[in-house]
Chains A and B, each alone.
Chain A
Amino acid sequence: MVAKRKKKYASGEGAHFMTRKAALKKLQLSLNDFRRLCILKGIYPREPRNRKRAQKGQAGIKTLYHVKDIQFLMHEPIIWRLRDYKIFNKKVGRARAVKDFESLKKYLNNHPTLKLDHIVKERYPTFLDALRDLDDCLTLCFLFSTFPSIAHVPRDQSALCRRLTIEFLHAVIEAKALRKVFVSIKGYYYQAEIKGETITWIVPHHFSFEPQSRAEVDFKLMSTFVEFYTVMLGFINFRLYHSLNLFYPPKFSVVSQNDDEKSIVDEEVFVSERVAALNFPVSKTSSGEEEEEVEIDTFSTEDTPEKIEEAKIEAEKIKNLKGLFKGLKFFINREVPREPLVFIIRCFGGEVSWDKLLFVGASFDENDESVTHQIVDRPSMDKQFISRYYIQPQWVFDSVNARQLLPVNKYFMGEVLPPHLSPFIDKSRDQQYIPPEEKALYDPEALEELHKKQETDDESEEEEQEDEKLEAEDSEKVDEDEEDTEDEEEEEEGESTKKKKLKVTPGEVYKEVPWEKSKQERQEYKLREKLVKNKHRKLYKSMMAGRQQRAKEIWLLRKKRRLHEEKQKEERKKKKKVEKQTT
Chain B
Amino acid sequence: MGNKEKILKRKLEKPSEERDSGAESVESEDEFLNVVNGDEEDSSDSDGEVESSDEDELALEDDDEDDDSDEESNEGSENDDQDDSDDDEEEDQDSDDDDDDEDHQEEENTQTPPPSQSKPDEYEDHDTSDEEDIRNTVGNIPKNWYDDYKHLGYDWDGNQIIKPETGDQLDNFLKRMEDPDFWRTVKDPQTGQNVILSDDDINLIKRIKANKIPDVTFDEYAPWIEWFTSEVMQMPLRKFPEHKRSFLPSKSDAKKVSKLVHALKMGWIKTRAEAEKLRAKKEPQFYMLWGSDDQAEEMRRIHQHIAAPKRHLPGHAESYNPPPEYLFDEKEMKQWNKFKNTPWKRKLHFVPQKFQSLRQVPAYPRYIKERFLRCLDLYLCPRGIKMKLNIEPESLVPKLPSPKDLQPFPTVLAIEYKGHSDMVRTISTDKTGQYLVSGSDDGTIKLWEINTGRCLKTIETDGVVRSVEWCPNSALSLILVASGNRVLLINPHLGDFVVCSKTDSILETSPQSDAIVSERIKTTVEWCNSVEANLFDRGVRITLKHFKEVSQVTWHGKGDYFATVMPDGLNRSVLINQISRRRSQLPFTKSKGLVQCVLFHPTKPFLFVATQRHVRIYDLVKQNLMKKLLTNSKWISTMAIHPGGDNLLVGTYDRKMLWFDLDLSTKPYQTLRLHGTAVRGVAFHKRYPLFASGSDDKSLIVSHGMVYNDLLKNPLIVPLKRLQDHEGSNDFGIFGVHFHPLQPWVFSSGADGTIKLYSN
Contact = CB atoms under 8 A, between A and B. Distances in A.
Contact of B275 (A109, A143, A185, A205): A109
A128 B320 contact: no
A127 B294 contact: yes
Given A125-B297, A205-B364, A527-B722, A417 B321 contact: yes
Interface string B358-390: 110111110111111011101111111000010
Contacts of B367: 143, 186-187, 204, 208
A57 B564 CA distance: 58
Nearest to A536: B396
A387 to B, nearest CB: 24
A248 interface: yes
A126 interface: yes
Contact of A394 (B321, B353, B389, B671): B321
B288 A38 contact: no
Interface stretch (A92-100, A116-124, A168-176, A457-465): A116-124
Contact of A419 (B275, B282, B321): B321
Contacts of B268: 106
A544 B355 CA distance: 37
Interface stretch (A40-48, A477-485, A506-514): A40-48
A557 B322 CA distance: 12
B359 A337 contact: yes
A135 B323 contact: no
A181 B630 CA distance: 65
Q: Residue among A218, A239, A248, A420 with the most chain B CB within 10 A?
A: A420
A135 B286 contact: no
Contact of B383 (A45, A49, A378, A558): A45
Contacts of A42: 302
A289 interface: no
B371 A140 contact: yes
Interface stretch (B202-210, B308-316, B514-522, B678-686): B308-316
Nearest to B327: A560
Given A63-B380, A424-B314, A540-B396, A560 B290 contact: no
A530 B673 contact: yes
Contact of A528 (B290, B306, B356, B400): B400
A66 interface: yes
B301 A417 contact: no
Given A421-B319, A425-B315, A530-B672, A45 B364 contact: no
A128 B292 CA distance: 10
A200 B313 contact: yes
A33 interface: no
B287 interface: yes
B255 to A, nearest CB: 15
B303 A216 contact: no
Given A42-B302, A564-B324, A532 B375 contact: no
Contacts of A557: 325-326
A561 interface: yes
B23 interface: no
Contacts of A133: 307-308
Interface in A308-338: 335-337
Nearest to B352: A185
Given A75-B300, A239-B290, A420-B320, A527 B701 contact: yes
A454 B304 CA distance: 57
A130 to B, nearest CB: 7
Nearest to A531: B398
A320 B734 CA distance: 72
Contacts, number: 287
Interface in A428-449: 435-438
Contacts of A339: none
A461 B275 CA distance: 81
A208 B368 CA distance: 8
Contacts of B304: 66
A520 to B, nearest CB: 9
B314 A184 contact: yes
Across the A-B interface, give the 9 residue pairs with the lowest CB-CB distance, nearest first.
A47-B384, A125-B296, A424-B313, A543-B393, A68-B303, A527-B719, A561-B325, A560-B325, A45-B382
6 contacts: A44-B306, A126-B295, A139-B374, A185-B350, A239-B289, A337-B359
Interface string A169-208: 0000000000000111111010000010000100011111
A63 to B, nearest CB: 7
B310 A135 contact: yes
Interface string A1-44: 00000000000000000000000000000000001001101111
B324 A139 contact: no
Interface of B: 268-270, 275, 282-284, 286-290, 292-297, 299-304, 306-308, 310-311, 313-316, 318-326, 329, 350, 352-353, 355-359, 361-365, 367-372, 374-376, 378-384, 389, 393, 396-398, 400, 402-403, 671-674, 701, 717, 719-722
Contacts of A525: 397
B294 A421 contact: no
Contact of B372 (A207, A217, A242, A561): A217
B425 to A, nearest CB: 27
Contact of B396 (A35, A204, A205, A539): A539
A437 B302 contact: no
A230 interface: yes
A120 B369 CA distance: 26
B384 A46 contact: yes
B303 A47 contact: no
A78 interface: no
Contacts of B380: 44-45, 63
Given A127-B290, A235-B289, A540 B393 contact: yes
A378 B295 CA distance: 53
Contact of B381 (A45, A128, A417, A527): A45
Contacts of A123: 302
Given A123-B302, A435-B325, A44 B362 contact: no
A128 B326 contact: no
Nearest to B290: A127
B289 A121 contact: yes
A185 B353 contact: yes
B311 A135 contact: yes
Interface in A497-535: 523-534
Nearest to B366: A186
Given A217-B368, A561-B325, A527 B379 contact: no
A238 interface: yes
A183 B360 CA distance: 12
A273 interface: no
Q: Residue among A64, A69, A184, A218 with the most chain B CB within 10 A?
A: A184
A44 B379 contact: yes
Contact of B397 (A135, A238, A422, A532): A532
A72 interface: yes
B284 A204 contact: no
A222 interface: yes
Contact of A422 (B302, B315, B358, B672): B315
B359 A64 contact: no
Given A205-B364, A222-B371, A536-B396, A130 B290 contact: yes
A393 B358 contact: yes
B286 A238 contact: yes
Contacts of B293: 126-128, 195
A44 B672 CA distance: 47
Contacts of A561: 323-325
Nearest to A64: B382
B323 to A, nearest CB: 4
Contacts of B318: 184-186, 422
B316 A422 contact: yes
A69 B674 CA distance: 53
Contacts of A85: none
A466 to B, nearest CB: 30
B282 A113 contact: yes
A225 B377 CA distance: 12
A106 B269 contact: yes
A64 B350 CA distance: 32
A501 B11 CA distance: 144
